[in-house]
């Protein structure tokens, strides 16, 4: 290729890349801009290979193409595997790879340099490229939390960064005037610049990473441009210069938005790794005493605020990214807009962990770019908005940036969220942000709602709150027409499945709903639209998977005229295929398409994700129909489960009220002898540990418990025995059928966990059935049977079990066995708790902690299993805010490796100064008002002092038993790994047992405390 043509093509490609980057500044054109720049870059590589006649070198071109294919494969793999939340660290790594590529080119150029200019630019590109690589790796580590996200400042950090800069500058100058040995210079330059990259990146806080990434992006471009000079490639110089300058411009813009200099940020002065800065709360004085009195009389919920709001701002932050809550944010906005509220998303320039982080996440949730507003555009409007919903943001709206001189964020421009009439925080907790400065808005008395915890959960609750308020505003006459009530009274029901059923994998629940309706005598038909789903016969395949008979599947043409006769139509994830706009709205994409006559049904129950338009983009008027429509929005699996529960609960309410006294929990509470019959359903639900807990609870109240095993229960010989042994059930408690079958008539209750055919009385009575003549367990002889089975379907033999429909002496706890057993356990314990005198309420765990002046926290392996360290930290922070002194006390062998607890608590940002070894504070337990034990047992078991001959006798333990009150957040009261019972569990006074998953019990304790 002629040099002139190469220069002309280089100019065109450079302008194309520059134009592509400019397109990326607008959301609507960003994707096309990205594609255009990528295509131009690929052409630039091809042009370079042609210009340098590489294609004539067969070995070289094979190596180059092989490397390009490997790189393309890695890139495509990352594009599919990397989740959106991991995008910041991926961008950081890609910057590092760009720097590394430039460093390789520069290193090669140093060995072939002829002039001092080539040698000097080669060294300079090598230095910047290596610095970019190591700096990007550290940045990626901080963003992925593999490295502490807080600023890490070494001793003599300034000196350690200044010396490499001076030495590298000297090397560059020396290369210009002296002929130095290339290999030595190359190795020294890589070592010094690599260290410098680590040194400057490690001291930047996690919240300042967007600016750091932008700078590293700029440096990767600069390195490429200088490497282009070293090898005399004008195209590489131009493209590298474009990347470098655009990155530098973005860095300057972001620094301006932070009202801080780049040097200050790189020195880690905008984030604090040490103690938090306390800021006095700011309270609006404009609220009159009359308003205060009204608020005291009736607290207004966040849902009420949003329901009545005319203008709402949504402020997303990094917490939204962590919780992957962008879709729920969009749902909340859609719900508010449907009620006529104006909604705006307000984005702070440095929100998130990379430039444009929030924009990308919200675009993923199909938020229109017109709804995204920059800080400067709407900051003055906050005082006009009725409510501001903050989702995982802190520093970018902290008023301390205006008022608290001397804090790291003082002077930083922030969103005027504090000017809003009401602020709703959907933040994880009220801890200080990355800058380490407390946010006074958290403690503001008026105009603030704190919905703390995982943003996905709090937003879901908030959505439910808003929708339930809306539902309550409908006339009370609608109560009689709830979805469950409609189905309960229906004689004919049509079920219309769609792609949403496939997404939610809800076909089995659809089948359960149909079975439940058929059992009450309802005629059920599944109606399939020809194009429902994503392939021909999609719905048929899914429903066949759930064992729906093909005779129940009807094509549209066969039953479309019958919709007007059906009492109810349940729509599961379908939209366009039943949208009446296809008949009425000329000019729309679906006009003229044959649709299901769902709108002719007497009542329509939508189990759809939301009320958005379908794939054709046409709104469905059925969603806003005033009468004859029930909207059960959300994940179809959840809404169907709720609908099933609704239908069954209505059925249950129709039974005589006398049955109330005979709940499953009450039966077990009064039982003297209980048999437990496990089956394959226990294996599927992995519920053996809960079965063991139930048995332990019953034995503690003096009940005799036996596990009765049928020879063919499960899927292999001894299946049940193995599972129960895994849950530490003694073999002496396992009984074969022949040994105890005659005793069923004597037992007060039999708990069946996922078993069916092995106890079906049809095996004795129903001649001609597959199980007739098979020996079965005499469960039907029990005084009361409690079924913890998934449903009342026939077992594998296909024979209905008459016990399910027995009028008396049967309790059906249907659903996942793990859940029903947990509910049964809670029921038994609650009945036990009700029998205690009411005065015990005053000594609840939360009350003890509320009054405590000194609290010790003793973590154990159970905390690790439940991953509850963040909740432990939240509990400690809550206590410290009320003035309580808190210490974490660590036993030397707590956990499964040395320092296990220390590592977990450090991950939750617990200061090392708060971690105390056993020997340092063991004598202080007698002074502490409460000790919270989180998943620890043997390390505090007093048997180690008193019970000679036990495995732990003589082992030094934490003096937890000396505390005034002990709060156990343990899974259960079983013996620990040493197999020695802990007498503290049965101590009458000064002990609170909060049993179950530590994460759940701690959350409940936190909620009660707050």
For residues 915-934, one letter each, b for 16 or more C-beta atoms within 10 angstroms of the residue's C-beta and e for the rest, the string is beebeebbebbeebbbbbbb
pLDDT tens digits, one per residue of 2-55: 888 888 999 999 999 999 988 887 656 778 888 999 999 999 999 999 988 888
pLDDT of residue 290: 36
Cβ(91)–Cβ(145) below 8 Å: no
pLDDT of residue 512: 87
Number of residues in the chain:
1010
Phi-psi region of 634 (alpha: psi -120 to 50; beta: other; left: phi over 0): left
Dihedrals φ, ψ of 702, to 5°?
A: 100, 10
Cα–Cα distance, 396 to 387 (Å, whole number): 17
Cβ(198)–Cβ(135) below 8 Å: yes
pLDDT of residue 210: 66
**CA nearest 131: which of 123, 121, 119, 141?**
123
Cα–Cα distance, 834 to 473 (Å, whole number): 36
Cα–Cα distance, 399 to 280 (Å, whole number): 10
Cβ burial of 970 (10 Å; 0-12, 13-18, 19+) is: buried
**Beta-bridge partner residues of 313:** 344, 388
So which residues are the catalytic ones? Answer: 395
pLDDT of residue 737: 92
CA–CA distances in Å: residue 195 to residues 128, 131, 220: 12, 7, 17
Rounded (5°) CA angle 249-251-252: 65
Cβ(772)–Cβ(762) below 8 Å: yes
pLDDT of residue 475: 36
Cβ(433)–Cβ(394) below 8 Å: yes
For residues 794-815, one letter each, b for 16 or more C-beta atoms within 10 angstroms of the residue's C-beta and e for the rest, the string is bbeeebbbebbeeeeebbbbbb
For the record, the structure tokens of 922 come out as 């063991």
Cα–Cα distance, 976 to 968 (Å, whole number): 14
Dihedrals φ, ψ of 885, to 5°?
A: -85, 125
pLDDT of residue 399: 92
pLDDT of residue 27: 59
Beta strands in 910-965, from DSSP E residues, in sequence order: 915-917, 930-934
pLDDT of residue 942: 93
- pTM, two decimals, is 0.44
| CA-based max dimension of the chain | 105
Cα–Cα distance, 822 to 828 (Å, whole number): 10
Cβ(675)–Cβ(708) below 8 Å: yes
Report the Cα 394 to chain-centroid distance in Å: 19
Cα–Cα distance, 952 to 377 (Å, whole number): 67
pLDDT of residue 426: 93
Cβ(362)–Cβ(327) below 8 Å: no
Cβ(746)–Cβ(673) below 8 Å: yes
Phi-psi region of 387 (alpha: psi -120 to 50; beta: other; left: phi over 0): beta
**CA nearest 554: which of 580, 532, 584, 522?**
532
Report the Cα 497 to chain-centroid distance in Å: 28
Cα–Cα distance, 621 to 216 (Å, whole number): 51
For the record, the structure tokens of 848 come out as 């003890």
Residues of the chain with pLDDT under 70: 26-28, 83-86, 88, 149-150, 205-210, 254-300, 355, 468-481, 649-662, 830, 832-843, 1010
DSSP states along 256-310: HHHT--HHHHHTTTTS-SSSPBP-PPP--S-S-HHHHHHHHHSPPPHHHHHHH-S
Beta strands in 755-815, from DSSP E residues, in sequence order: 785-788, 810-812
Radius of gyration of the chain (CA): 34
DSSP states along 855-910: EEEEE-HHHHHHT-HHHHHHHHHHHHHTT-EEEEEE-TT-SSSTTHHHHHHHHTT-
For residues 206-239, one letter each, b for 16 or more C-beta atoms within 10 angstroms of the residue's C-beta and e for the rest, the string is bbbbbbbbbbbbbbbbbbbbbbbbbbebebbbbb
Query: Look-up: residue for tokens 């919240």?
Result: 207
**Helix locations, 370-427, DSSP H:** 375-378, 400-403
Q: Determine how many CB atoms are found less than 10 A away from the CB of residue 62.
A: 10
With a CB cutoff of 8 Å and minimum separation 6, the contacts of 138 are 147, 197, 198, 201, 202
Cβ(860)–Cβ(938) below 8 Å: no
């Amino acid at each position: 290729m002629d040099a002139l043509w190469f220069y002309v093509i280089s100019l065109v490609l450079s302008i194309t890349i520059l134009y592509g980057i400019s397109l990326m500044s607008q959301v609507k054109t960003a994707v096309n801009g990205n594609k255009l720049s990528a295509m131009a870059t690929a052409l630039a590589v091809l042009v370079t290979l042609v210009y340098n006649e590489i294609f004539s070198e067969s070995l070289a071109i094979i190596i180059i193409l092989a490397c390009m294919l490997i790189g393309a494969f890695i890139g495509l793999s990352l594009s599919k595997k990397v989740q959106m939340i991991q995008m910041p660290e991926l961008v950081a790594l890609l910057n590092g790879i760009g720097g590394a590529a430039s460093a390789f080119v520069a290193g090669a150029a140093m060995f072939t340099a002829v002039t001092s200019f080539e040698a000097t630019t080669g060294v300079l590109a090598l230095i910047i490229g290596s610095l970019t690589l190591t700096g990007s790796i550290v940045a990626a580590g901080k963003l992925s939390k593999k490295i502490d996200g807080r600023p890490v400042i070494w001793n003599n950090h300034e000196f350690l960064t200044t010396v490499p800069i001076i030495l590298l500058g000297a090397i560059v100058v020396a290369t210009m005037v002296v002929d130095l040995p290339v290999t030595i210079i190359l190795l020294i330059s890589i070592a010094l610049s690599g260290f410098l990259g680590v040194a400057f990146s490690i001291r930047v806080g996690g919240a300042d990473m967007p600016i750091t990434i932008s700078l590293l992006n700029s440096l990767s471009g600069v390195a490429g441009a200088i490497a282009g000079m070293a090898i005399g490639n004008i195209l590489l110089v131009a493209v590298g210069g474009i990347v470098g300058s655009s990155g530098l411009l973005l860095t300057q813009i972001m620094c301006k938005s932070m009202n801080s200099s780049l040097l200050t940020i790189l020195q880690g002065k905008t984030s604090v790794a040490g103690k938090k800065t306390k800021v006095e709360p700011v309270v609006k004085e404009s609220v009159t005493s009359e308003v205060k009195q009204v608020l005291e009389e009736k607290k207004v919920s966040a849902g009420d605020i949003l329901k009545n709001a005319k203008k709402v701002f949504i402020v997303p932050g990094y917490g939204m990214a962590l919780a992957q809550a962008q879709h729920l944010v969009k749902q909340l906005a859609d719900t508010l807009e449907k009620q006529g509220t104006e909604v705006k998303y307000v984005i702070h320039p440095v929100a998130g962990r990379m430039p444009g982080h929030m924009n990308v996440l919200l675009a993923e949730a199909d938020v229109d770019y017109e709804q995204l507003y920059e800080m400067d555009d709407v900051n003055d409007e906050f005082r006009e908005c009725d409510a501001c919903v903050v989702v995982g943001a802190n520093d970018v709206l902290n008023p301390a940036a205006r008022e608290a001189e001397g804090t790291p964020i003082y002077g930083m421009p922030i969103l005027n969220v504090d000017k809003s009439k009401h602020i709703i925080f959907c933040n994880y907790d009220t801890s200080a942000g990355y800058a380490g400065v407390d946010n006074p808005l958290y403690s503001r008395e008026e105009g603030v709602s704190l919905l703390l915890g995982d943003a996905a959960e709090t937003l879901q609750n908030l959505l439910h709150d808003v929708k339930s308020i809306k539902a309550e505003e409908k006339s009370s006459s609608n109560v009689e027409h709830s979805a469950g009530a409609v189905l309960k009274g229906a004689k004919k029901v049509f079920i219309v499945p769609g792609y949403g059923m496939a997404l939610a994998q809800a076909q089995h629940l659809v089948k359960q709903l149909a079975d439940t309706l058929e059992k009450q005598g309802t005629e059920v038909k599944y109606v399939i639209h020809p194009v429902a789903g994503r392939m021909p016969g999609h719905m048929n395949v899914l429903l066949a998977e759930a064992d729906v008979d093909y005779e129940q599947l009807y094509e549209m043409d066969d039953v479309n005229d019958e919709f007007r006769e059906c009492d109810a139509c349940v729509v599961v994830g379908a939209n366009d295929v039943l949208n009446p706009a296809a008949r009425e709205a000329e000019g729309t994409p679906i006009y003229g398409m044959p649709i299901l006559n769902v709108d002719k049904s007497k009542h329509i129950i939508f189990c759809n994700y939301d009320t958005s338009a379908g794939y054709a983009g046409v709104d469905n008027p059925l969603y806003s129909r005033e009468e004859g429509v029930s909207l059960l929005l959300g994940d179809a699996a959840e809404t169907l489960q709720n609908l099933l529960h609704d239908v069954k609960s209505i059925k249950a309410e129709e039974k005589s009220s006398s049955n109330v006294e005979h709940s499953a929990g009450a039966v077990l509470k009064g039982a003297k002898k209980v048999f437990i019959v496990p089956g394959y359903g226990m294996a599927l639900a992995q519920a053996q540990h809960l079965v063991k807990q139930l048995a332990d609870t019953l034995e503690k109240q003096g009940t005799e418990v036996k596990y009765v095993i049928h020879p063919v229960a499960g899927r292999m010989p001894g299946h049940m025995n193995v599972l129960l042994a895994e849950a530490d059930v003694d073999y002496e408690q396992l009984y074969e059928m022949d040994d105890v079958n005659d005793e069923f008539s004597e037992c007060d209750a039999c708990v069946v966990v996922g078993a069916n055919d092995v106890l079906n009385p049809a095996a004795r009575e129903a001649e001609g059935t597959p199980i007739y003549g098979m020996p079965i367990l005499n469960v039907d002889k029990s005084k009361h049977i409690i079924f913890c089975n998934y449903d009342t379907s026939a077992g594998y033999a296909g024979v209905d079990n008459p016990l399910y429909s027995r009028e008396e002496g049967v309790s059906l706890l249907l659903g996942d066995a793990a859940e029903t057993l947990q509910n049964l356990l809670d029921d038994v314990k609650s009945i036990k708790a009700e029998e205690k005198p009411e005065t015990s309420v005053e000594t609840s765990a939360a009350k003890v902690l509320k009054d405590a002046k000194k609290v010790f926290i003793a973590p154990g392996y159970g905390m690790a299993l439940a991953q509850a360290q963040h909740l432990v930290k939240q509990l400690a922070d809550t206590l410290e805010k009320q003035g309580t002194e808190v210490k974490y006390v660590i036993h030397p062998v707590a956990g499964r490796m040395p320092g296990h607890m220390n590592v977990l608590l450090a991950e939750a940002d617990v200061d090392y100064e708060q971690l105390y070894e056993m020997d340092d504070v063991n004598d202080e337990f007698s002074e502490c008002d409460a000790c919270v034990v989180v998943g620890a047992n043997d390390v505090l078991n007093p048997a180690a002092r008193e019970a000679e001959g036990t495995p732990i006798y003589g082992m030094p333990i934490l003096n937890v038993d000396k505390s005034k009150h002990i709060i156990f957040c343990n899974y259960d009261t079983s013996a620990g790994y040493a197999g020695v019972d802990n007498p503290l569990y049965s101590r009458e006074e000064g002990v609170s047992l909060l049993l179950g998953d530590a994460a759940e019990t701690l959350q409940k304790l936190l909620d009660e405390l707050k």
